[in-house]
Amino acid sequence: MLPLARFLHLIALVKFKIRVMKMLKQTILLAGILTAGIASAQSSKMNNMIKVGANVGLAVPSDNVSAAAGVDVSYQNLITPGFGLGIATGYTHYFGKSNNGYDNNDVGVVPVGALIRIYPKQTGFYFGTDLGYGFLVGNDKVASNSTVDRPDGGFYIKPEIGYHNRDWNFFVQYQKVFVGDKGDIAGQDYNVGNIGVGFGYNIPLGN
């Protein structure tokens, strides 16, 4: 038989190991909970965001304007990790050009619309569009040497495709305000549209 002192020592050692195992188990469990909480918090912070950016493009068609430059501001809520909805606005300035004897005026676009985005993966390719109404602002006349009134606005669309990560979006876009035949003058159709490139930065808002 084992001496009593050694037996008591073994009992104490076993109890100590049991306490250590319990503490280790609790520590691992707590670490897991904290890690999950941090990951969840980081994910939730990106569910709602403000997106700010800029874009430049060439007018298409280019009868009355030549190029465009603008800024974008939008709010996005990720309904699911791969699908975002929101509202979009901003300002795009179109630079007028001389055409067929007309000195066409610059025109600005202030869009108000819905934002739709599809993100197949957390980082990488994405696509989407803005849909709404584009308000045209600037000189009331199509050209400085014409009496034809500039349209007030029309249906607005801005499809885009590009690359995204947690913080940035880089894209190719097409922007168009449909005005019908408003603003047309002899020998020139009135167009407000461009194909261009742009970028956006995501500012998280939290839950």
Q: Looking at the DSSP assignment, which residues form a beta bridge with residue 131?
A: 114, 157
- Kindly report, residue by residue over 10-67, the tens digit of the pLDDT: 666 566 556 656 655 665 565 555 444 444 444 445 789 999 999 999 999 999 999 9
Could you tell me if 184 and 190 are in contact, meaning their C-beta atoms sit under 8 angstroms apart?
A: yes
Side-chain half-sphere exposure of 104, counting CA atoms within 13 A: 26
* Residues sharing a CB contact under 8 Å with residue 198, sequence separation 6 or more, in sequence order: 53, 54, 55, 56, 72, 160, 170, 171, 173
Q: Are 173 and 47 in contact (CB under 8 A)?
A: no
- List, for residues 96-153, the tens digit of each pLDDT value: 999 999 999 999 999 999 999 999 999 999 999 999 999 999 999 999 999 999 999 9
- Spell out the CATH class of 47-206: mainly beta
Structure tokens at 2: 């084992």
